[in-house]
Amino acid sequence: MNIEFGPVTLPDENARAGALQRHAALLSPPRSLGRMERLGAWLAACQGRTPPRPLRRMRVVVFAADHGVTAEGVSLGGPGTTRALLDALDTGSAPLNVLAEVAGAGIRVVDVGTAGGSGPDHVRSGSSSIATADALTEEETEAAVRAGIRAADAEIDEGADVLVAAELGAGVTTPAATLVAALTDTEPVAVVGRGSGIDDRAWMRKTTAVRDALRRCRPVTGDPFGLLRTAGGADLAAMTGFLAQAATRRTPVVLDGLPSTAAALLAEEIAPGARSWWLAAHRAAEPAQVIALEHLDLDPVLDLNLRLGAGTGAATVLPMLASAARLLTDVAERPALPADADIT
């Protein structure tokens, strides 16, 4: 595949240290703001300045696609589910709409693979079932990765200072769990969760589908693009390109649940060092996501026991990020003590 990413430069550690030093001088007890101090320091490092600029343009980018593996009975979602979710998002009535509005964040939807979808970034109408066939062709995989790259470039060129990588599509946790298992050498039973809320029988079907997909992945385990082709999907491929490109362009990204974290594993393989530009929003109720976060050495900000993806967990964290930046810019410093003050 003829896709290469430029070298990833790391965030500015001097700016991170400066932010922590500034927190130590603020009108609050040292280290009293806990994780908020680390969030502000991460933003300062990403921006290369202390204090960081206030966040003005936060953007949630949702990659939508259908997955043929739903035909194996691995999800409560069936034909038409993804389209119904997209319609709700379009009318402003989805959970993400509410959370993004509270955060002051905009939403971009990129349809890369929904059934019956269309548009300049649409790769195909749903992927094949990864249990029995490759999800995509090589050409479709490349087209989806490039769609993610374009989405990152468009948002960054329009002035985004923080991005969110999100997905929307029935059945997506099955290929996402497969990718995590393949990249971390983990057994299917250890990565398969309840996804959309499936019962024990559906969980067994899902585990079987992941097992069969993993067998098909063996010849391409060392090839990130090969894994996306074999056991991914258009949304996961696009998110991989999106995450890698954002890192090469020095733009911080907030990861959501399992799908974006699985894509992050692949993006780190493609663009080493990219993980330093990502923040894990929350620990989802999916075992594969926990495994992937540990592999990436990312510590999630929240643990809300969320099963819903589609950017909801990441959108919940965005107000915290905006607050972390403002704490460094707006809070007064402690007055200096007189030179002859007795501090004994």
- Rounded Cα–Cα distance for residues 266 and 295 (Å): 11
pLDDT in tens, 320-340: 999 999 999 998 887 764 555
Name the β-bridge partners of 65: 113
Strands 162-168 and 58-65: parallel
Amino acid (1-letter code) at residue 84: A
Question: What would the mean pLDDT of 23-40 be, rounded to a whole number?
Answer: 87
Q: Residue 151 is inside which H or E element, if any?
A: helix 138-157
Q: What 3-state DSSP class applies to 264?
A: helix
Q: Closest by alpha carbon to 133, among 234, 215, 208?
A: 215
CA–CA distances in Å: residue 32 to residues 17, 23, 27, 281, 288: 17, 9, 10, 21, 33
Taking residue 305's Cβ as centre, other Cβ atoms within 10 Å add up to 9
pLDDT of residue 64: 96
Quick: pLDDT tens for 157-205: 999 999 999 999 999 999 999 999 999 999 999 999 887 788 899 899 9
In the chain the domains, ranked by start, together with CATH numbers, are 13-52 (no CATH), 58-316 (3.40.50.10210)
Give me the pLDDT at residue 343, please.
42
So what's the pLDDT on residue 339? 55
Q: What pLDDT score does 337 carry?
A: 47
Give the pLDDT of residue 342: 53
Residue 137 CA to its chain's centroid (Å): 24
State yes or no: pLDDT of 209 exceeds 90.
Answer: yes
* Percent share of the chain, pLDDT over 70: 97
Mean pLDDT computed over 9-38: 90
Q: In this model, does residue 217 exceed pLDDT 80?
A: yes
DSSP of 49-114: SSSPPPP--EEEEEEEE--GGGGGT--S--TTHHHHHHHHHHHT-SHHHHHHHHHT-EEEEEEEE-
pLDDT at 108 over 50: yes
Run of H or E including 254 = strand 253-255
pLDDT in tens, 246-281: 999 999 999 999 999 999 999 999 999 999 999 999
Structure pTM? Answer: 0.93
Residues in CB range of 328: below 8 A, 6 or more apart: 19, 22, 23, 40, 44, 50, 51, 52
Please compute the mean of the pLDDT values over residues 203-210 and round it to a whole number: 94
Backbone angles phi, psi at 109, to 5 degrees: -105, 130
Mean pLDDT over each residue of the chain, to the nearest integer = 92
Give the pLDDT score at 304. Answer: 85
105 versus 116: the higher-pLDDT residue is 105
DSSP reduced 3-state for 333 = strand
Residue 107 has pLDDT above 90, yes or no: yes
Contact present, 165 and 253 (Cβ < 8 Å): yes
pLDDT, tens digit, for every residue of 133-150?
999 999 999 999 999 999
pLDDT at 87 (0 to 100): 93
What pLDDT band is residue 211 in, cutting at 50, 70 and 90?
very high
pLDDT over 90 for what percent of the chain?
Answer: 79
**In this predicted structure, what is the pLDDT of residue 340?**
56
Residue 344: per-residue pLDDT: 46
Lowest mean pLDDT among 14-18, 74-78, 180-184, 212-216: 74-78
- Give yes or no for a contact between 247 and 268, defined as CB atoms under 8 angstroms apart: no
**Banded pLDDT at 305 (limits 50, 70, 90):** confident
